[in-house]
C-alpha cells in the first residue's frame, strides 16, 4: 500500500472515531469527534469482521503467536475471535491489523512503540451500539457524577477496556478521544481503520483534480461498506506480546468510484457535516436511530437532560434503523 500523508487534518481531528463524523464533534454537538480544525475529534466504521447483527465471522487466517516473556501464550486467532465474541453483541465490529501496517502510514511522531508484527484490533461502533451498549450502560450506572461528565467516553473506556482485559491481560487500549502529553491524538483511528480494511479513508491527495485552495485544510473522511458514514472508529486494542507475521493485509473497500463522488463527500463532510448528508454516500444499509441522532446533534454540555431521561428509563431502547426492503422501517429524516 502506498504511503499516505500521516498528518492529514482528517486523522488528527478524528481522535474520536468513524473518521471524524458529526457524532464526534465535541464542541459542535456530535459525540466523539470535533469540528474541522478543532483540537479534539472523532470518527466512524468495516470489512473483514462481522457486524453485530450477523453471525460472527471467522478470524483472519494466517495468524500465529509469538508472546513475549511473561505474556500468556494464546493463538492470535483465538484472541481476535474472543474479542469479537465480547464486543459484537454490543454493537461493535473488530478488525485485526499489524502495528507495522499502521506505522508505515504515519509520521514518526505518531508511531506506536511496538514491533512491526504486533497484533492490534480496531474497534468500530455500528448504528446498534447506542441501544445495545450505551443506553444499558447509562441505566446501569445511573446518576454517578463521574460517568455523567462524558457518558459515552466513560462507557467506551469501561466496555472496551473490560473486554480487552478479558481477552489478553497485556492488552493496551488506545481510545479515539485520548490525547498525549503534546495534545496530539494517541492514535490516528482513521488510518488504523483504513489499513485494517475495515473502512475506506478518502483524502484530497488522491483526487485527480483538486478544486480547493492549496492552503485550505481539508479533512479526510471514512466510509464503511455497510453503514456509509453511520458509524464511528472508537479504539485500537494493542495485544502486546502477540505477533501475527502471517496475517494478510486486506485492501480497503472501494466505495466511491468517481472523482466527483470523492470531491462531494469531502465537501459535505468538511463544510456541511451537521446535516449528515455525507453519511449517505455508499448507500448505507443501516442508520442511527432517531434518539441517537438527537443525542449526537445536541451539544455535549446540553446532553444532561437526555442522559437523565435514559437513566430513568423514560426513553425507548430500540435499535439502529435499517433501510426499507428487509421488513423493517426506517426513519431517515432529520439531522444526524
Q: What is the pLDDT of residues 182-204, one digit of tens each?
A: 899 999 999 999 999 999 999 99
Structure confidence at residue 210 (pLDDT): 79
Beta pairing partners, 321: 287
Cα torsion through 83, 87, 89, 95, rounded to 10: -70
Non-local (6+) Cβ contacts of 333 within 8 A are none
pLDDT tens for each residue of 30-76: 333 333 333 333 343 332 333 333 333 333 433 433 333 334 456 88
pTM confidence score: 0.76
Split at pLDDT 50, 70, 90, the class of 150 is confident
Beta pairing partners, 179: 185
Q: Please determine, for residue 222, whether its predicted confidence score (pLDDT) is greater than 90.
A: yes
Structure confidence at residue 318 (pLDDT): 56
| Distance (Å, whole) CA 21 – CA 14 | 8
Quote the percentage of the chain above a pLDDT of 90: 57
Average pLDDT for 330-335: 27
DSSP-H helix ranges across the chain: 9-12, 76-87, 99-103, 129, 135-141, 145-149, 151-167, 189-196, 259-271, 290-297, 304-311
Q: Please determine, for residue 112, whether its predicted confidence score (pLDDT) is greater than 90.
A: yes
Average pLDDT for 291-303: 91
Q: Please determine, for residue 322, whether its predicted confidence score (pLDDT) is greater than 60.
A: no
Amino acid at each position: 500500500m502506498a504511503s499516505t500523508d500521516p498528518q492529514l487534518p482528517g486523522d488528527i481531528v478524528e481522535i474520536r472515531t468513524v473518521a471524524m463524523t458529526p457524532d464526534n464533534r465535541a464542541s459542535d454537538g456530535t459525540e466523539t469527534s470535533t469540528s474541522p480544525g478543532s483540537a479534539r475529534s472523532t470518527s466512524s466504521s468495516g470489512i473483514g469482521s462481522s457486524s453485530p447483527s450477523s453471525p460472527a465471522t471467522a478470524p483472519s487466517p494466517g495468524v500465529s503467536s509469538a508472546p513475549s516473556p511473561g505474556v500468556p501464550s494464546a493463538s492470535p486467532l483465538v484472541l481476535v475471535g474472543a474479542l469479537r465474541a465480547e464486543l459484537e453483541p454490543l454493537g461493535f465490529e473488530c478488525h485485526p491489523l499489524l502495528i507495522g501496517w499502521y506505522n508505515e502510514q504515519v509520521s514518526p511522531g505518531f508511531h506506536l512503540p511496538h514491533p512491526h508484527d504486533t497484533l492490534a484490533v480496531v474497534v468500530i461502533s455500528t448504528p446498534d451500539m447506542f441501544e445495545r451498549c450505551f443506553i444499558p450502560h447509562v441505566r446501569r450506572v445511573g446518576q454517578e457524577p463521574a460517568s455523567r461528565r462524558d457518558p459515552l467516553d466513560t462507557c467506551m473506556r469501561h466496555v472496551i477496556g473490560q473486554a480487552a482485559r478479558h481477552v489478553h491481560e497485556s492488552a493496551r487500549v488506545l481510545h479515539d478521544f485520548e490525547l498525549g502529553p503534546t495534545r496530539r491524538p494517541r492514535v490516528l483511528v482513521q488510518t488504523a481503520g483504513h489499513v485494517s480494511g475495515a473502512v475506506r479513508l478518502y483524502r484530497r491527495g488522491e483526487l485527480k483534480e483538486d478544486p480547493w485552495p492549496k492552503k485550505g485544510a481539508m479533512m479526510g473522511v471514512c466510509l464503511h461498506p455497510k453503514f456509509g458514514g453511520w458509524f464511528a472508529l472508537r479504539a485500537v486494542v494493542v495485544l502486546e506480546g502477540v505477533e501475527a507475521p502471517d496475517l494478510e493485509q486486506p485492501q480497503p473497500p472501494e466505495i466511491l468510484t468517481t472523482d466527483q463522488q470523492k470531491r462531494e463527500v469531502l465537501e459535505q463532510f468538511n463544510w456541511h457535516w451537521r446535516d449528515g448528508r455525507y453519511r449517505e454516500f455508499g448507500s448505507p444499509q443501516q442508520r442511527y436511530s432517531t434518539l441517537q441522532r438527537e443525542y449526537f446533534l445536541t451539544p455535549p454540555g446540553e446532553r444532561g437532560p437526555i442522559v437523565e431521561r435514559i437513566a430513568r428509563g423514560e426513553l425507548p431502547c430500540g435499535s439502529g434503523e435499517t433501510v426499507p426492503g428487509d421488513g423493517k422501517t426506517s426513519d431517515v429524516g432529520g439531522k444526524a
